[in-house]
Structure 1
Amino acid sequence: MPLRDTHVTLAHGGGGQAMRDLIEEVFAPVFGSETAEDQARVTHPSLAEPGARLAITTDGYTVSPLEFPGGDIGKIAVCGTVNDLAVGGARPLWLSAAFIIEEGAEIALLSRIARSMRMEAEVAGVAIVTGDTKVVERGKGDGVFVSVTGVGVIAPGRDLAARLIRPGDVAIVNGPLGDHGAAILAARGELALSADIRSDCAALGHLMEAALEAAPGIRAARDATRGGLAAALNEMALAAGVGVALDEGAIPVRPEVQGMCEILGLDPLYLANEGTLVLFVPEDQSGDALSAMRARPEGAGAAIIGRAVAERPGMVTMNTAFGGSRIVDMPLGEQLPRIC
């Protein structure tokens, strides 16, 4: 029976015909009928390689607004999960998606989110193989929440971990910082800001594979999401027992983002990103890693921003443009809630 409703009702989560209609009209045409099964049965040649390991990650996604310049909650859900796998050295392969939908949500919005997820999955080279849908009462779900579990395969002999970072290793980011946080802030319209800023939301699996092929000695990588680059680097410094020294002049930030931060008293180092990673690589392989990253669109703005040092283990410091130095602390909380 064709779906005639324009908005989600509690009946769409009741397990009956209304729910079947919603799934068949909105999700099955986009993700494929196999996602209607309660489990996915998958196989891949890489699983047969001696020493290959499975990598599994899971995350929940909540963003306001649900659609924004450069993306939507569906795009974030796919890219964020893919990136969590990729920065650990895994090749992302499969995703499972669960939707928590608030009564009253627009069916057309759900369709756009689903199509966005399919498009990003195709770009990232992953398959959405199973899923689930639940509906909650009006006022208890804030639109749509998405939870995604990702599975990938780590090639034999590959081991990326922050504990492996050594003094002298070079820190590289793949592009400008803070685009996502700034785009969400502008999209909310609460501060009457006029800025043409798009989220950096992107899947980074192909970028990581290119970097690892060019520089197999990469020690570790993190995606700089909530808490921004500052949180990612502090976590890595603590895990490795090294200091991290940054060069403020080398850190890429778009003028629009920098201007917004100056107006609002924010720091781009702490703004969320959804398509930005930082990696540490031995100095003798840093040029190869940088070139490989810059050869891909997701890494066109890649830059060396600092290095690991023996001094001040567990701390991140930055040499400022004025010739001084300051500590880049771990953030106490989010500068902006409901960001991803």
Structure 2
Amino acid sequence: MDEIIKLIHGDGGKHTSQLIEEIFYKNFQNKYLLDQGDAATFQLGNELISYTTDSFVVKPIFFRGGNIGKLAVCGTVNDLVVSGATPLYLSTGFIIEEGFERKKLEKIVETMRDMCTQANVSIVTGDTKVVEKGSLDEIVINTSGVGVNYSGYKKNKIDAGDKILITGGIGEHGTTIAVDRYHMKISGDYQSDCALLTPFLSVVNEYKEAIKCMRDPTRGGVATVLHEFMKTTEYGICLYEEEIPIKPSIRAVNKLLGFDPLYMACEGRMVLVVKREEADKVLRMLQSIESGKDTCIIGEFAQMEDKMIYSRNSFGGKRIIPELVSSILPRIC
């Protein structure tokens, strides 16, 4: 293990996993933590409760399609949604650098208020700290969230033939952050996909037996989520290359920067593994929701001699999708 913490340990890939396993899991291990979900789910009285927490360090803090406040609410609410829970209450903690502009803070907090209204959640407690100028880069926000799993949804064992769905175009948040951070003077419709996943709860509740597992592909992107899924099963994954929804402008910027959209963060998408027999029904239901109109089936789990993830094009060509091991873009959420 590295003797010091590096930026790559926060990218969400293999190095992040190693850090979590070798330090945090080793010291904090319990059945809820080791379940490795986006939220911990446990019985509290008669209710099945989900609880999650996240910290946000995005740079720049204002970007096309949102700001750090929008990320803070959406990120925590979405982690509850992909755990099958209806979000109810949030906490928030602010660490602010001395000299930060009051009007910026007001804008961030107003955005958080508006997103809470959309999600039908309340921020019920919080904390504020101010640190000396130069000891922090502007502002850091932590949000924690509690929700109730009314439907009793739980993850199920993945089988060969189960389909992989994504609820919209990939890589849009991470790519937008890169364009804004580096002040790239390029044309195109670049905007973060940062959004709430709460509209999809009705589908999750109705098809809880068909949906095997769900994640929101933030740090490390879709590829990282798929590797996390694959580690829980004996099967590999075949992706349908032409079916993966990537806007031409997103593809172009990633090619220019030497990045792969499969590893770029999304902040308003859901990846679902769905029972093969029910996949088309779930697809149509997700597509009937405005924010899910671009939902696609992008692959399936398959029996393989050497377990791996690969994408296959219409000409039969294959490309292996390895686990993320190199640094792509730090501080995207």
Q: TM class, shorter-chain normalised?
A: 0.7 to 0.9
With 228-237 and 188-197 compared, the bigger mean Cα shift is at 188-197
Matched, 1:336 2:306: no
With 50-59 and 173-182 compared, the bigger mean Cα shift is at 50-59
Deviation at 1:240, TM superposition (A): 2.3
* Deviations 1:81-134, CA, capped at 9 Å, x for gaps: 011111111111111000000001110000000010111111112111111100
Q: Distance in 2 between matches of 1:212 and 1:175?
A: 20
What is the one-letter code of the residue matched to 1:65? Answer: P
Task: Classify the secondary structure of the residue corresponding to 2:136.
Answer: coil
Matched, 1:205 2:175: no
* Deviations 1:228-286, CA, capped at 9 Å, x for gaps: 00000000011123211100000000111011112222111011110111101111211
**Closer, same or farther: CA 130–49 of 1 in aligned 2, 3 Å:** closer
Task: Classify the secondary structure of the residue corresponding to 2:142.
Answer: strand
Q: Which residue of 1 aligns with 2:33?
A: none
Deviation at 1:151, TM superposition (A): 0.6
Structure 2 length normalisation: TM-score?
A: 0.83
Task: Classify the secondary structure of the residue corresponding to 1:219.
Answer: strand
* Deviations 1:162-218, CA, capped at 9 Å, x for gaps: xx2111111000000011011111112344434331100011022133244146421
Deviation at 1:76, TM superposition (A): 0.4
Q: Distance in 1 between matches of 2:269 and 2:126?
A: 27
**Closer, same or farther: CA 107–240 of 1 in aligned 2, 3 Å:** same
Q: Distance in 2 between matches of 1:67 and 1:313?
A: 44
Q: Which residue of 1 aligns with 2:229?
A: 236
Q: Which residue of 1 aligns with 2:270?
A: 277
Matched, 1:299 2:292: yes
Q: Distance in 2 between matches of 1:50 and 1:157?
A: 14
With 129-138 and 211-220 compared, the bigger mean Cα shift is at 211-220
Matched, 1:86 2:112: no
Matched, 1:127 2:122: yes
Q: Distance in 2 between matches of 1:181 and 1:312?
A: 34
Q: Distance in 2 between matches of 1:173 and 1:221?
A: 10
**Closer, same or farther: CA 189–296 of 1 in aligned 2, 3 Å:** same
Identity fraction in percent: 40
Q: Distance in 2 between matches of 1:333 and 1:151?
A: 34
* Deviations 1:298-326, CA, capped at 9 Å, x for gaps: 21110000111122575211113542112
Q: Distance in 2 between matches of 1:52 and 1:314?
A: 38
Deviation at 1:51, TM superposition (A): 5.2
Task: Classify the secondary structure of the residue corresponding to 1:269.
Answer: helix
Write out the 4+ residue segments of structure 1 that deviate beyond 6 Å after TM superposition.
47-50
Q: Does structure 2 conserve the Cα–Cα contact (< 8 Å) formed by 1:240 and 1:314? A: no
* Deviations 1:5-60, CA, capped at 9 Å, x for gaps: xxxxxxxxxxxxxxxxxxxxxxxxxxxxxxxxxxxxxxxxxx99985311111110
With 189-198 and 283-292 compared, the bigger mean Cα shift is at 189-198
Deviation at 1:297, TM superposition (A): 2.1
- Report how many aligned residue pairs link the two structures: 292
What is the one-letter code of the residue matched to 1:325? Answer: K
Task: Classify the secondary structure of the residue corresponding to 2:231.
Answer: helix
With 113-122 and 291-300 compared, the bigger mean Cα shift is at 291-300
Q: Distance in 2 between matches of 1:205 and 1:314?
A: 34
What is the one-letter code of the residue matched to 2:86? Answer: R
What is the one-letter code of the residue matched to 1:189? Answer: Y
What is the one-letter code of the residue matched to 1:109? Answer: K
Q: Which residue of 2 aligns with 1:52?
A: 47
Q: Which residue of 1 aligns with 2:68?
A: 73
Matched, 1:187 2:210: no
Q: Which residue of 1 aligns with 2:56?
A: 61
Unmatched 5+ stretches in structure 2: 1-41
Alpha-carbon RMSD across the aligned residues, in angstroms, is 2.0
Alignment of 1:5-44 (within 5 A): none
Q: Distance in 1 between matches of 2:293 and 2:193?
A: 12
Unmatched 5+ stretches in structure 1: 1-46
What is the one-letter code of the residue matched to 2:98? Answer: E
Q: Distance in 2 between matches of 1:265 and 1:301?
A: 26
What is the one-letter code of the residue matched to 1:70? Answer: G
Matched, 1:311 2:318: no
